[in-house]
Amino acid sequence: MPKPQSSLADFPDPEKLRSGASSAAYTKRLCQENARLHEERQAWHEERQAWQEERQAWQEEKIASARAAIHDRQQAGYYKSMHDRALQRLLEKDQQIEALKAKVAELTHRVFGRKSESGKSKNTTPPQAKRPRGQQPGAPGHGRKPRRDLPVVEIELDPPADRIICACCNKPWVPCGEPETSETIEWEVRLFRRRTKRNKYRRPDGCACDDGRPGTVCAPTPPALIPNGLLGISFIVEALLLKFLDAVPMHRILGMAARAGMPLSAGTLCGVFEKITPLFLPLYLAVFARSRQEDLALMDETRWQVFIEEPGKTSHRWWLWVVVTKMTRLYILSPSRSGAVPKEYFGFDAQNGTIDFHKQLMVDRYKAYEFLKSLLALAYCWAHVRRDFLDAGRDDKDCQWADDWMARIGGLYALNKARLALACEPDATRRLPAPFVELDPERMQTPAYQQADLGLRQAVAEMDGARRAELAAADLRLPRRKVLQSLEAHWHGLTIFVEQPQIPMDNNGAERAARPAAVARKNYYGSGSKWSGDLLVMLMSLLQTLRIHRIDPRAYLTAYLETCANHGSKAPDDITRWLPWNFVPPDPAAAQDLPQGGQPQGPAP
């Protein structure tokens, strides 16, 4: 704002003022000028104050605008963050909904879906006509298989009497040539009472000799598995085979006996089973010890019901652990599914962090085995990985993706099978139960094997690269990411078979060994007591090990229980000859030469 100005021309000369030549007019004019200047000055101050007030108002308005802008920006950031959180929650909800849908689909498939794990074929070409099964028309037959191992019961038939007498002279006809023979197989189930009569003898009349013997002599009591027991060894063996090999429930065994004319109570048969349980304990411990001695084992577990009250347990669910080696099949019953069972089996020393048994182990991805990662070659099952892709493929969005990965896994199986065929002798696979193989070091040095091994390694490397590339994609769907993350976490254990071909690719051998227990669980639910569960694992371990060594379980149990009967209803002191891998079946011809009522004493050493 401009300051007030005054004109110097309106004032007299200063010389005149010094000479005293001033007038009243000048004084008046001076007073008026002073008054005008004062008014102008006052007006200027007022104008300046108004301008300052206006400027302060403008500054306050500017500050208020800035503050409002800052507040708006803060509010915008807040609401943006709230919006982002809302979007994140919606994304999490969508993922949760997808996971729940997948869970519902999985449970629905378990209840109502197909049980087969075979994948869908992507081949669009029409399938070729398959060769019909069985005997082909026009092909030469091999004839009926002779059954020379079965006993023969001959029945002779003659023509009617009027057909073998001459109608004119009434002379009988005479036999000629060999008779016409035909055979049929009959199945006769027969229960009978084996009545033993012990003859008694006395001194003859007139014999008064004093030879230290009583006057009457009776035949000794024949050995019995259960003294004064009702059931004989053959009955007990048949019941054991039906129960623990064929998974027939107790009430059906009793029904079969009743239909054969022998009504029997469940308490009688259960009492017999309980009394003979200690006889199989030494055999079970020997199978247990032999199982630990093998380098390679397969391990799995399945649920089993034991209907007793166990301290610390709120249910009747126990667990049946299966350990499969090339020489044994071992079953362990435990109330726990924790790592305590494998730790006890492997002889785990917590202080030193070492184990005493096994060098290689094939398992599924159950966490109870994780402590073995650094202690032995812990291999994981490719069949479980394939099931992950099979489950993911039930969603139409992931069907093609899952099929591609299952095709890769199938390629690994084919390449490894071809490699093993070159590494083993042609007849070597027959000497060991599947999936165990016997490698030939010389065959593994051949160019054909080296080429097959290189092809397998390249396929594994390509699969590893495909997994890494898909996991690096930010837009990978959640179900796919979870499957591939699990594959990545177990990749080392899944690829051990590449460096150690004797290790199988999957744990199907252990799952097949657990199948008899699953069938038994379906048929008779579980065990009603602790001793019943102990008998289950003992008999299943023994019978399944006998199957590995191709030994007739009926002949084995009969010979073993007869030996126990001859040993005072106790197990033999030396069970070496009774171990399944040492057992020599008794000679049938020698058994036929036994005197009436005689019993074989066991297998030849």
Residue 504 within any structural domain of the chain:
no
Q: What is the per-residue burial (b if ≥16 Cβ within 10 Å, else e) of 46-77?
A: eeeeeeeeeeeeeeeeeeeeeeeeeeeeeeee
- What pLDDT, on the 0 to 100 scale, is given for residue 170? 84
- Whole-angstrom distance, CA of residue 258 vs CA of residue 252: 10
Q: What is the pTM of this model?
A: 0.78
- pLDDT tens profile 118-151: 655 544 455 566 777 777 787 887 777 888 888 8
Counting every residue written for the chain, the total comes to: 605
- What pLDDT, on the 0 to 100 scale, is given for residue 428? 58
- Whole-angstrom distance, CA of residue 389 vs CA of residue 482: 10
- What pLDDT, on the 0 to 100 scale, is given for residue 2? 53
Sign of CA dihedral 11, 16, 17, 18: positive
Peptide bond into 435 cis (omega under 30): yes
Mean pLDDT of 353-362: 91
- pLDDT tens profile 198-238: 888 888 888 888 888 888 888 888 888 998 899 999 999 99
| Contact yes or no for 520/245 (Cβ under 8 A) | no
pLDDT at 334 over 60: yes
SS3 of residue 362 by DSSP:
strand
Q: How far is CA 232 from CA 195, 235, 272, 467, 477, in A?
A: 11, 5, 10, 63, 66
- What pLDDT, on the 0 to 100 scale, is given for residue 569? 93
- What pLDDT, on the 0 to 100 scale, is given for residue 587? 67
Residue 3 within any structural domain of the chain:
yes
pLDDT at 285 over 60: yes
Sign of CA dihedral 280, 291, 418, 363: positive
Residue 49 within any structural domain of the chain:
yes
> Distance between alpha carbon 508 and the CA centroid of its chain, in Å?
8
- What pLDDT, on the 0 to 100 scale, is given for residue 13? 59
Mean pLDDT of 455-477: 95
- What pLDDT, on the 0 to 100 scale, is given for residue 215? 80
- Whole-angstrom distance, CA of residue 341 vs CA of residue 363: 14
pLDDT at 33 over 80: yes
pLDDT at 249 over 80: yes
Which of 67-76's residues contact partners 24+ apart within 8 Å by CB, and which partners? none
Mean pLDDT of 33-58: 89
**Residue-wise DSSP of 109-176:** HHHHS----PPPP---SPPPPPPPSSSPTTSPP--PPP-TTS----------GGGSB-TTT-PBP---
Query: Which of residues 304 and 69 earns the better pLDDT score?
Result: 304
Residue 63 within any structural domain of the chain:
yes
Most confident of 6-15, 137-146, 349-358: 349-358
pLDDT at 308 over 70: yes
Residue 30 within any structural domain of the chain:
yes
Over the chain, what is the mean pLDDT?
87
pLDDT at 503 over 80: yes
- What pLDDT, on the 0 to 100 scale, is given for residue 430? 64
What is the separation, in whole angstroms, between the first and last Cα of the chain? 132
Residue 20 within any structural domain of the chain:
yes
Residue 265 within any structural domain of the chain:
no
pLDDT at 518 over 50: yes
Mean pLDDT of 420-443: 84
**Domain assignment of residue 62, given as a range:** 1-67
Confidence of residue 593 (pLDDT cuts 50, 70, 90): very low
Q: Characterize the bridge pairing of strands 200-202 and 317-324.
A: unpaired
Confidence of residue 194 (pLDDT cuts 50, 70, 90): confident
- What pLDDT, on the 0 to 100 scale, is given for residue 233? 94
- What pLDDT, on the 0 to 100 scale, is given for residue 604? 34
Mean pLDDT of 486-494: 96
- What pLDDT, on the 0 to 100 scale, is given for residue 588? 56
Residue 25 within any structural domain of the chain:
yes
- What pLDDT, on the 0 to 100 scale, is given for residue 123? 47
- What pLDDT, on the 0 to 100 scale, is given for residue 86? 93
Residue 532, token pair as written in the block: 């019943």
Confidence of residue 16 (pLDDT cuts 50, 70, 90): low
Structural domains counted in the chain: 1
Query: Which of residues 443 and 201 earns the better pLDDT score?
Result: 443
Query: Which of residues 209 and 346 earns the better pLDDT score?
Result: 346
Residue 235, token pair as written in the block: 């009955």
- What pLDDT, on the 0 to 100 scale, is given for residue 598? 37
279: Cβ contacts below 8 Å, ≥ 6 apart? 560, 561, 564, 569, 570, 571
Confidence of residue 595 (pLDDT cuts 50, 70, 90): very low
- Whole-angstrom distance, CA of residue 322 vs CA of residue 70: 70
Count the Cβ atoms, other than its own, within 10 Å of residue 477. Answer: 16
